[in-house]
Structure 1
């Protein structure tokens, strides 16, 4: 099995001159940063859309309504909706 550390060090020595050409005072996120941001934005949009759909299915009842129903059932009255 060949020694991988020699090939890795050779590849790194070829990349070192490229790193010296980069302006250290100017750092930009580049294409990868944009792709990550776009994926995160799409994920948040999808989660918000799903949450709105699920919240639409929830039925909220007032506490006053829930207190009246057991007392009506206890007295034998049925309420038709």
Structure 2
């Protein structure tokens, strides 16, 4: 046991290490982040998502999935050609 004593003296007496409590807090944070990511993945999996618009029109007469600027430019181009 006395052979370990000089090794302990080599450590700086004024340095602070996180120790066991720091490891426990870090592990709890890691588990919490993992649980949140798992929950987020499960919730995002429940979302129904269509990549292509189905051609329906909104209440304003715009095609689904297009903003007002795109609908206005289409209307103005169709008026110009008519």
| Higher helix residue share | 1
- Larger relative contact order (C-alpha < 8 A, sep ≥ 6)? 2
